Copies of this chain bind each other. A is one copy, B any other.
């Protein structure tokens, strides 16, 4: 008998969509393909790309991405417009990630439309994509500032229409893990399809929120490499991997974990930022021990002050010595 594997989340990397919305990101066509190959080799299950309607360059790059024939499924963001869906299908995308903004503030400040009107557009776009046989995801932007009744009306309608997945987006980064658990749990109880979570980091909880969404029943989690995205971004791939690994290494057993440092370095170089010193796993000092009490114990038993084994992630342990906090009689 084969042992039962734990339920594990599928990773939707959106560096080529959300990441492109990071202020400093200006990916060239070659950079996009290089990054896509690296993410595919790492093992993410999905790559999300900017809508082909956004610009001629976006369409060209999406076609090239599809042409790579990667193992990862290539999905593209699109508005709930039939023309946009047709363009996505024509580009050969494996799936369309539809969305609209359901909160009152987005309805008033962004598109000026009612939930009913948008839902009608969404259902038409969904059917078009379904008829072409591609995967269909429909997401409510700004879900955490939307009336729960509106959310459930929309999610149950698209679920009844047979979408593969609904998305719950914390667009402005306001949710706490507890709120994510509550809302994803509510959606879980209301729909039969899969559930995707996308969370921004304005409140510093993007990683915790993604992990909480998984615990509450989400099947697909959005990340970008380094967490780049609008404003201060979303959940970083390395952070999510660290959190899931700590809970159960089997949750991330499908990925080439030792490739994370090179992946983060690649994107840092492409967009011209440093890997944050406090990045999980890939931060420069993530496996450096300084206080003497720590270094002395780690020499005997690394697990004393290490929950993650650096070797698993292609990193090395460093023990500093000679600071005023170290030495034989270390007390700090």
Contacts and interface: CB of A to CB of B under 8 A. Distances in A.
B171 A305 contact: yes
A107 B204 CA distance: 33
A22 B290 contact: yes
A134 interface: no
A41 interface: no
B202 A303 contact: no
Contacts of A308: 202
Contacts of A303: 105, 109
Contact of A212 (B178, B211, B231): B178
A299 to B, nearest CB: 9
Interface in A247-275: 247, 273-274
Contacts of A50: 325, 332
A181 B296 CA distance: 32
A202 B242 contact: yes
A64 interface: no
A290 to B, nearest CB: 5
B278 A203 contact: no
Given A208-B209, A290-B21, A304 B58 contact: no
A294 interface: yes
Contact of A178 (B171, B215, B230, B296): B215
Interface string A53-83: 1110110000000000000000001010000
Contacts of A288: 23, 231
A82 B239 CA distance: 41
Given A105-B304, A110-B293, A231-B288, 4 more contacts: A23-B285, A23-B290, A110-B300, A233-B278
